[in-house]
Amino acid sequence: MGANILVEVVCFTIEDVFRARQGGAQRVELCADPGAGGTTPNYELIKQSCELSGIDTMVMIRPRGGDFLYSRKEISQMEEDIRISAELGAQGVVCGVLDTAGAIDAYSMSRLVQTAKSLELEVTCHRAFDVASDPREALKTLLELGVDRLLTSGQAKSAPEGIPLLRELITLADDRLSIMPGGGIRPHNVKELLALDIKEIHTGSRIKVPSQMKPKSFAVKMGADDAQEYHMFVDVEAIQAIVKAVRGSADFDE
């Protein structure tokens, strides 16, 4: 492990982005709808994030939750979202498309990659990869398409559990594409991942913050049972601990 490993944080609000930056992260993956695992955020949020100094913004390009099999109209929508993300100042986009057999949809992905590259954006393939039918073939396709990095848990429930496949993917990629571990990475297990030959790491560390609103009652529920009583925000202390671990601090507390 070393000081050159970049820390990327999943963010759903502008408050999240501020917190990620405060924690020492160098990049955010900007999303909407955490319940769906992340979808394309609204354009004003992209604009606000891109205007902040000291942190880069990667924009999730995913028109809906659910599976990763998209219609032609959805692919066109994703292309337009890529163009607008570039106009708003994003450094890159995050996307993934599979076919009915669970392989990378090379045609649709090539459209998205070519659109992004024509606008000088970086491209990350997200964790659609983690449900791909053949991870080695999927990686081969991503290499052929010129994708810059792959966000993956190694097709496991969490990245620490996926270390065997992560290690194999790193070897197969041979520096032609960055393998970025992500999924369940927290301060207590990050050191397991830092033993890998990686350049970046991805975390979604979050914390519940009580609402300051004092309503008549919380008896009327909208969304999850406690959705109005709490906000979920990036956990600054957890990000600081991960950044400290990445930098190899001797006083990192396991």
pLDDT confidence of residue 4: 84
Confidence of residue 253 (pLDDT cuts 50, 70, 90): very low
Between 251 and 174, name the one with better pLDDT.
174
Residues 11/204, Cβ–Cβ less than 8 Å: no
pLDDT at 249 over 70: no
pLDDT, mean of residues 198-209: 94
pLDDT, mean of residues 28-55: 97
| C-alpha torsion angle, residues 180, 185, 188, 190 (rounded to 10) | 0
pTM, two decimals, is: 0.92
Nearest CA to 32 out of 53, 11, 51 is that of 11
pLDDT digits (tens, 9 = 90+) for 131-145: 999 999 999 999 999
DSSP lists the bridge partners of residue 81 as: none
